[in-house]
Every structure is written in C-alpha cells, then in structure tokens.
Chain A
Amino acid sequence: MKNVLVVDDEMVLRMLIVDSLEDLDCTVDEAENGMEAIKKINETNYDVMILDYMMPELTGIELLGEIDSDRIKETYVLMLTAKTQEKDQVQAKEAGVDYFMKKPFSPMELYQIVEELIND
C-alpha cells in the first residue's frame, strides 16, 4: 500500500481531495497545517504529498524547507496553488515540488496524476 499525505488548511478541500482519491489503492493521511504535516512525515514514508501553497503559519514551500531533502527526493510532491507566476513556480521547483495543480483543480485530474505517481 502506498501512502499519500494531504496538507491543506481548508477542511472542505481536504475532504474533496481525500474523497477524490478514495478509489485508489492507497492510504491517505490528512494534515491541517505544517506542524502536523512534519509530525506525520517523520512517522510515515509518504510516496506522494499533496500540498496547499497558501497556509497559515507555514506555507507549502516553507514546509518543504523543514523536511529532510533526501526524503523529499523520494517523495513526489504535488502542489496546489493559486499562484501562477513563473517565479513562484521556479521557487517551488527548487524547494522540491514535482507537479503543480492550479486552483481550482479537477478532482479527476488529481486522481489520474496521483494514480500515475503511485504506480510509478
């Protein structure tokens, strides 16, 4: 079983992501904020991380900065963001983000991407 972590401060969005991934053969964990996410990452090896960019306390990028870079390399990081600017994407890539999804996103598309990543 693969492990997926969803980090988003919006409960509704977490619910949407979790529900859209429910048909996948994987365990989906949720984290409401950066601190919670770090705690979970330390406990579990996640294959995929779905991160919201804009979160209080720690942004998605800041969160990545807190995680061991080797761990990030082993994990596919998918970022959901409203920021569409080139420079934001460059910055995110440097921090270890592999894929971007622009908000609002399609749950089906998300499903497909995560499915691909899990099976990779």
Chain B
Amino acid sequence: MIEKGKQRVKIKHKFYKFAALLLALIIFIMSVGIFTLVRAQSEITDQYEESTLKYNAINNLDESLTQVLFRARGYYAFQDQGELELLDENLDIFRNDIDYFQTLSLSAEEEELNTILSNFYINYTENLLPLAISFVDDDDYESLRDLSSGGTNTEINRFLDYTQSFNEEANIEREAIFDQGISLINGFTTGFIVLGLTSFALFFLIIKSLLKEIIDPLDSMILATNDLRRGRSTHLDSNYQLAELSELAYSFNEMAVEVQDKEEELTAQNEELLSQQDELEFNQKQLQEYVTEVEHINKALNQSALLCITDEKGIILNVNDMFSKISQFSKEELIGHTTRILKSGKHDQTFYENLWQTITKGKIWTGKMQNETKFGECYWLNATIVPFLDDRGKAYRFILIGIDITENKRNELTLKTLLSETQKAKEKTESYSNLNKELTATVDRDEFLDSVFDYFKLAFAFDKGMLVSIKQKQFALKGVAESHAERFLTDDYLEDILERLKSESYIVIKREAYKTEKGISLDTVYSYDLYAAVKNDQGEIELVLALTRIGHPFTEEEISEMLILLGQLSIALSRINIYEDVQKERSLNESIVQNVTEGLQLVSLEGDMLQANDKLLKLVDIESYKINKTIPKDTWINDFTDKCKDTSKIKTFFTESIAPDAIELNSIRCQMNDDKSRYFQIYTSPVFIEGIKTGTIFMYRDITKEYEVDAMKSELVSTVSHELRTPLSSVLGFTEMLLMKDLKPEKQKKYLETIFKEAKRLTNLINDFLDVQRIESGKQEYDMEELTLNKILIEVIDTFKHEKNHPIYLEDSANLSTVLADKGRLIQLFTNLISNAIKFSPSGGKIAIQIKNKNNQIVINVKDKGIGIPESELSDIFTKFKRIDNSASKKIGGTGLGLAISKGIVEAHQGQIWMESKEHKGTKVTVTFPVLESTIEDDLLKKEFSHGFESRGNVLLVEDDISMAMMLSESLKSYGFNVIHYLNNENIVEIVKERKLLGIVVDLMLEDGISGWDLIHTLQKNEETKNIPIIVSSAIEKNSDIITVKPVYDYLVKPYSPEVLSKLLIELSEKNEQ
C-alpha cells in the first residue's frame, strides 16, 4: 500500500529539476568568474598605463632639466647668447613637464619631489639664473663657482637620483603587474577546469542516484514476481520515493494477494474433503475397537473391580461377585438395601454429602472411601461412581466401580512410619558418626568437651545440663549459667554424686521442679536429674554428665544409649591422655636433645641427615645448616669431615656406621682442624624400629678438656717421675756405693753430702708438688690476717743477707702496704721470687726490690740481672714444671714448680703476677696486691700529715734491726722520703752508687760483728760516695772522735724518736736545696 500523506515525486519531474538546477549553477559560477576576470584585467591595464605615464613624465623632466643645465653650462662656458635662448626654451619645456607631472596621481614622495622641482624652477629662474648671468657678464667666475656649489646642485642631484630609482622601481612594478596578469589568467583557467570536472562529477552522481532509485525497486519486483510464480506468499514494500514505482508495487501487491487468496481457498476445499474421508474411516475403526474393549472391560471389571448398581435413591439393584466377596455380604443381603449398609463411619457427614451432591448433579465422583464389611472390618476402595442420566438429564441409576486398595493403604501407612523412623535413625547415625569422627580426631580437651556435648544436645532431649571435666575444671553447658556451673564444681553436692557414681553407672533423681523450671504450670511438675560419669583406665572419674529434664523421665533406652556413648568417651579421653603424655614426652625429649651438651644427629638409612641439635651445629661450626632440615649424605659428611684432621678416616667411619648392616655401637676420636684444636669423640648407635634398622644416631662429645687433662696428666706423670727419679738415683746410687765399696773418708763424706743434698732436693720437690696440688685443687687453706707487706719483705730479705754475690736492697715508697693475707704463704711467695732471682743470676748481681703504691694497689718488683728468659717462653712461665729448657737453666736446677705455686698464692690474694725479661739481661717479676680497703682511709689521713707527695729524696737505711728499720722508714716515708733498706754489710758502695742519696743512716752495731765504722770507712774511701752525709744511729754513746770523721753529719743515740731522724733529714734536704 502507498502510504498516505507522503509526498511522492515523479521520475520525470525529478530529472528536470536536477538538470535545471545544475545548469543554473554552472551559468552562475561561470558568469561570476568572467566578471571577476574582466574587472581584474582592466585594473591591471589601468595600473600599467598609469605607471607608463609617470615613467614618461619623469623621463621628460629628467631630459628637460638636463637640457637646462647643459644649456646653462654652455652659456657659462662660452657666453653665447644662443645658448641662453636655448636655455630659456628648455626652461619652458621643463616648466611644462612639471605641470604635466602634477596632473598625474602622485605618491607622497613624488608630491614632495614635485614641490622641490617647482621651487627649484622658481629659484632657478628668479634668483640663480639672473645672478649667474650677471656673474657671467661680469666675468666673475669665482662667484659663479661659489654659487654653483651653494646647494642648488644637491636638489638637482636628488632629483636625478630619484629619477634613476624611479625608473628601476617603475620597471619592477610593471613586471609585477605583468606577472599578476599572467597568474590571474592561469587561476581562471584552473578554475574553469575544476568547475567543468565538478559539474561532470555532480551530474554523474545525480544520474547514479536516480538510477538506483529506479533499479532497486525493479530488482525487488522481479524477485517478488518470481516468488509469486513459485507460489510463495510475497509482499512488496510499496513505500518508494518515486510515484510510478510505488504505484507499480502497490498494484503488484494487490495482484499477489488476490492470487494467494484464490489458491488458499482451493487448498482448503481440498483438505476438507480429505479430512471428511479420514474421519469416516476412523469412526468405523473406533466403533469396532469399542466393541472389543467393552467386552474386555466387562471381563476385567468382574475380575478385579467391585461393581454396584443402585437406583436414584441409592438402593442397591445389583452387585458383582467381587463386591460381595470383599464386603462379605451375599448378593441377596445387599440387593434392596441402601448403600448405607456399607458405611464404615470413618468418613464424616460432609464427605457423603459432597459425594451425593456430585453424583445427583450428573457428575462422576471419584475418590477413596473406607467401608465396612459385614463383620465390621474396614476396607478401602478406590471408587468411581458414574450416574446414568435420563433424557431430562436426571440420574436414574448409579454405578459404583471400585478397586480394593486396603492392602495398599495399609502398606502406605507402614511405609510412612518406617520412613520417618529411618529418617530419625539416619539423622542420629549421621550426628553419631560425626561425633565419632570428632572423638577420634580431637586431641584438644576443650574442643572435645564442646563437641561431645553438642552431640548430646542433638541426640537427647533435655532442658538443661552440663558436661564437666572434673580434673581440668572445664565444662560445656546448656541452659546453665557459667557462674552456676562453677559453683556446682565446688559444691559438696558434687562430691556426693561423684562418690555414688564410683559404684553406680548412673543416677537419676526425681524431684519437684523448681519454680523457674515449672514456669506457669499450676500442677505439680517433676524434674528428673540424670548423672553419669566417664571413667578413665584407672577407674577415676574424668567427666560427669548432668542432665535435667522437666516433666518427663528419661527412658531406659535413652539412658542405655547415653551410657554406651559415655563408654566411648572414656576411650576417646584415654586417647587424649595418651596424646598429651606423648606430646609432653616429645617436647621433653626435644628439649633434652636441644639442651644436652653433646651434639646429636639423626641420619636416615640412606645417610641423609634428618635432624641435628643446635649444639652439634655449634660444635662442628656449621651454623648455616638449619635444624630439622634434611641435608644430603654427601653434603654433610664432606662438610663435617673437612673440619677434621683425619678426613678419610672419619669419612670411612661415617660411611660404615650408616650402612644398613652396621648394627654395632661404635665410636671414634677425631681431632678438629680448627685453631682451637678441639677433640671429639663421635659415638654411633643404630636406630631400630621393630627390629629393623631405620637410621643412625651420631653423638659428638667435645672431649678437648678431657684430652688436654689427659695429655697434661701423662706429661705430669712423666715429668714427676723423671724429676723424682734423678735425685732418687743419686741417693740410692751413692748409698749403694757407700755400702758396697771401701771408700776413702773424703769420698765418703762427699757422697754423704751429695746424698743429703739430693734427699733435700727430693723433699723440696715433693713439698712443692704437694703445694701445687693443694693450690690447684683449691684445698690450700689461707689464714688471712692484716699484714704490712714491707715488713714481711724486709724479713724475707733478711734471710738472704748472707748471699755474698747478690746484694739485695728494698726501695720502699709505699705509704699504704696493709693487706689481708696469709703470712706463711707470702713469705713462701717472696722467698720463691728472691731465690729465683738469685738462682737465675748465677754470676751474681744486685737484686732490687721495690714496693710502692699505685691506684690503691701495692706493687712489688723483684729485679735481677741474671740470665733472663727467652721471650718465647715467657707466656707459660707460670705453668707448673715449666723450666726453661736450656743447659744454662738446667744447671741451676729446681722443681719447676716455684712460679706455679707463686701464681697460685698471688691469685688467692686477689693479686696479679707477671714477668718481664730479656735474655742475658735480667728478669723483673711484678706482683700486685690490693690494699686492704679499711686501711685506705687511715693511711690517707696519715698522708695528709706528710708534706706533700713529692719525694724529698732517697735515704739509705742500713739497719738490721727490722723493727727499728720499720719504725724509721715509716716516719721517713710519712715525711716524703723514699727509703732504701739495705741489710747486707758488703757491696754497699754499689748500692750507694745506684741512686742519688740525700743521706745514709747507718747502725754502728751490725750483726756478725761487722761494725758500721767499716761501712763508713768504705764509703769514705770511694770518690763517688765520700761526700754523702752519714747519720749514725747507734746504741753506743758517742765518742769525741766520731764527729771528726768528715761525712758523719750527726750521731743519734738509740733510743731516739724517729721524728728526730726525719727532722734531721729534712734539714739536710733543705740545705741541699740551698
């Protein structure tokens, strides 16, 4: 259909319209173009002409001016009147030219030039020329030259310049104009070509679109016609732009519709005929089937169904055999009765009303009904009651067809109960299996309680309750507040229950319900409390289950079920207990493994290292290994054995121990390669599980200490045995000689002396050895008391005063010298040190002992000038039996224990001892002791009385009465003197030479009958010492001749106060200063 209201265009009109539009467009564009071209052309021509005129005018001006000047010069040169006339003529021409130039259209510059030219002309004709003429006439060329250089020429020159530049510009301009013309023409030519092409393209497009509009519909029309020819339904979209086509399409559609309609009509008629034929055939067939079917049905009905026919009032007219069989009424008993006889009374009144209403309305009723037999038994029928209707639609007969479904019904019921029971059982089983899973999997006691109780909540009905772990005081609750449960745990009541549960498997207590339990009930309500226990293997109660049910007692069945469950809990609990024990044991084992002092390592059967404790990794110094990380066999064996000295031996040991058939315990000693030169004992033990070797354990024990002790012990034994055997050999040997041989008396004496000496050496050795043992084992007892060290030193030195070759002096500057010490041991110490100094300076020499204070320490030096000790030996000089292994020291002999003992003694007194030495130069042993704290303050007080700390000088004290010497020296020290004690009588000069002395205090009565006078004389004889002032300290009254001895400064008679001596010395020192 053509759409109404839409403007359609005819092809003809459309084409005309397009052609006209295109033509008009072309004409318009062309005329505009031509017009523009013509205008541009005339403009260019005008410009060109104007330029030419200006060019000519300026050239004329130029020429006429040149002429004027030329003529004027001609006149000036030749004074020819003819030239003057020509000049006038040319001036006129020039004037005309100017005028003409003025008529042209001029630029500003040209205008200015023109003015200049006009002015020049006026100036020239009116002033210059007459003046020049007059100069020419007067023959005054001088003035003429001045005139010509007066500036007129510049204007002329400017003009001439301009003329020239203008000519150039004019030429350029005209060329530009020409070029413009050419490009204009080119532009237009291009324009026309473009226009032509555009018009052609436009035309082509228009034609194309027109054709498309015509051809597309034609194509679709051809397709539609083809469709129509083939009998397919077709419809053309007639909504074309072009009117002719639209009409054509419309007509085509109309035609197509008409053709189709006709065709359909024919087809329909044909089909109708066919179906009528089919129907007839079908009806015939059906009728036949019906006949057979009815026969079958009748038969079947009699076999399986109950049939009953009643009249419209429900009075039974007939029943089949089946009916009487099921209902147990005979036919005769039924016929003539209403169906009421069959009713069971199980259905209510409405059921029968519905039924009756349905069938009386002529509708079929189907449903299940329960009837009663003659003997009152019920049976179920699946019944269909069909009313038979008369012509008026009123039922006059009812036929009941029923099938006995009593059995089905019964089965159904049983099934239903069964199902629900199964469902319940299933749920229970499921949760029970969950519980079981939980019980076997749980090793966490808390979790265990909760999950078990959750199951109880699910499986049994109770109102409140709890599951209590008696030992752990934990509980799982339902309907009970936690505080209440906690109270229950401490209640005596629980004790009673527990006591009863020991012998009874469960207790049920029936009691009147509490108010809270009873709720709003007015009657007496009873609650039932059930208690049951879970016992462990030892029969102790682990868990108590307490449940309360309000109103209903627990059934036997429930209780027995619960008890079974609790039995299982007991098993699970013991499993948890075992797990906890195992866990405890395991962590214990682990901490043992990690904390033992031995390195432990577990190696698999294949030899891979499965586990090692921290200690091991530290021992073998491979801390890059992570504990519990498997290390391949070769890796760890190589790493370990690389650290050993005897790599291949240890490697073999490892490999052999790892081997599956190695089942013996074994061990090996191994020395480490490191700088600590440690020793290990590696033990191996196979690991068996059920008689099969599953791996190997290696244990590493650091036996360095034991090894060292061992080595030391054997060395000690060998040394001791050697040391002992030598004197023993002498003693025994010489004794034998004495016994066996006849010897001269001198020899006998010599032998006896030797025996005595050697026996003494043996005794010393044994004593020293015992001392060392005592000191080292810490069994040495020290009898500590407050002692003055310098006094002890003097006493010890005194015992050595007979050493002729070793003058010993003590330089005392210690104001604090009180220590807490064992006097006997200190004497032993100093004796050792001094006798060492003497022993190891066999060729004699002074032994200087110094005692002084330094930082609350008493420092004592013993210095000799002996053979010294090689530096390499100094480090372990204090080790026992350490003697310098050279013949020089061998000659000296000794036990080699002295220094070890000394060190032991010093260390027992919180002191330090060390040694400095130079071979062949001498040795200096230094011992320090801490000053007894409590005396520090006293001594400091004492110091304050002293006169400053600066030493006033050295005083030599030759006094063999030790208490006197001490008294004097204490006083002197307090005055700041440095006291040097000297106890020997000989070698005094050497000592005196040693130091610069302020004075010497000499006791006149020295021991051994040596007189102080001898000393004084000795000093006097020596140049170096003769001038040192001497103070005599004597018990003898002085003689008159004493003072005459020159160096004796003063004579003090004992007893005198030590102050007196100190003052004397102060006097001396002051004198010295002056």
Contact = CB atoms under 8 A, between A and B. Distances in A.
Contacts of B721: 82
Contacts of B740: 107-108
A117 interface: no
A56 B889 CA distance: 10
A58 B635 CA distance: 47
A102 B100 CA distance: 166
Interface residues of A, number: 23
B885 interface: yes
A107 B726 contact: no
Nearest to A105: B729
B744 to A, nearest CB: 12
Contacts of B725: 82, 103-104
Contact of A56 (B733, B737, B890): B890
B736 interface: yes
A13 interface: yes
Contact of A33 (B722, B736, B754, B887): B887
A82 B734 CA distance: 18
A56 B885 contact: yes
Interface string B733-756: 110110010000001000000100
Contact of A16 (B722, B737, B887): B737
Given A82-B718, A106-B736, A107-B736, A15 B754 contact: yes
B730 interface: yes
Contacts of B732: 104, 106
Interface residues of B, number: 25
Given A19-B737, A56-B890, A13 B729 contact: yes
A105 B887 contact: no
Interface in B689-736: 718, 721-722, 725-726, 728-734, 736
B748 to A, nearest CB: 12
Nearest to B893: A10
Nearest to A88: B718
B354 interface: no
B758 A12 contact: yes
Given A82-B721, A82-B725, A57 B886 contact: yes
Contacts of B890: 9, 33, 56
A28 to B, nearest CB: 15
A80 B725 CA distance: 11
Chain B contact residues: helix, strand, loop or mixed: helix
A54 B737 contact: no
Given A82-B722, A105-B729, A20 B737 contact: yes
A56 B886 contact: yes
Nearest to A36: B887
A57 to B, nearest CB: 7
Given A54-B722, A104-B725, A12 B737 contact: no
A82 B721 CA distance: 7
Interface in A1-19: 9-13, 15-16, 19
Interface string A98-112: 000001111110000
Contacts of B887: 9, 32-33, 56-57
Contacts of A103: 722, 725-726, 728-729
A83 interface: yes
A19 B741 CA distance: 11
Interface in B882-932: 885-887, 889-891
Interface in A56-106: 56-57, 80, 82-83, 103-106
B187 to A, nearest CB: 128
A20 B722 contact: no
Interface in B12-50: none
Contacts of B726: 10, 12-13, 103
Contacts of B736: 106-108
Nearest to A52: B726
Given A104-B732, A105-B729, A107-B733, A57 B885 contact: yes
B263 to A, nearest CB: 136
Nearest to A54: B722
A104 B729 contact: yes
A107 B751 CA distance: 13
B446 to A, nearest CB: 70
A80 B733 CA distance: 13
A55 B729 CA distance: 15
B714 to A, nearest CB: 10
A104 to B, nearest CB: 4
A19 B743 CA distance: 11
A108 B739 CA distance: 11
Contacts of B734: 16
Given A9-B887, A57-B886, A106 B722 contact: no
A106 B885 contact: no
A57 B732 CA distance: 27
B722 A107 contact: no
Nearest to B728: A104
B468 to A, nearest CB: 76
B718 A12 contact: no
Interface string A17-43: 001100000000000110000000000
A32 B887 CA distance: 8
A106 B730 CA distance: 10
A40 to B, nearest CB: 15
Nearest to A101: B729
Interface in B30-89: none
Nearest to A84: B721
A31 to B, nearest CB: 11
B722 A13 contact: no
A62 to B, nearest CB: 13
A49 B760 CA distance: 30
22 contacts: A10-B726, A10-B730, A12-B730, A12-B754, A13-B733, A15-B754, A16-B729, A16-B730, A16-B734, A20-B737, A54-B722, A57-B885, A57-B887, A82-B721, A82-B725, A83-B718, A103-B725, A103-B728, A103-B729, A104-B729, A104-B731, A106-B732
Among all A-B residue pairs, the 9 with the closest Cβ atoms: A104-B729, A103-B725, A16-B733, A82-B725, A56-B885, A104-B732, A104-B728, A12-B730, A82-B722
Interface of A: 9-13, 15-16, 19-20, 32-33, 54, 56-57, 80, 82-83, 103-108
Given A103-B722, A104-B725, 16 more contacts: A9-B890, A11-B891, A12-B757, A13-B729, A13-B733, A16-B734, A19-B747, A20-B733, A20-B737, A56-B885, A56-B887, A82-B721, A82-B725, A104-B731, A106-B732, A108-B736
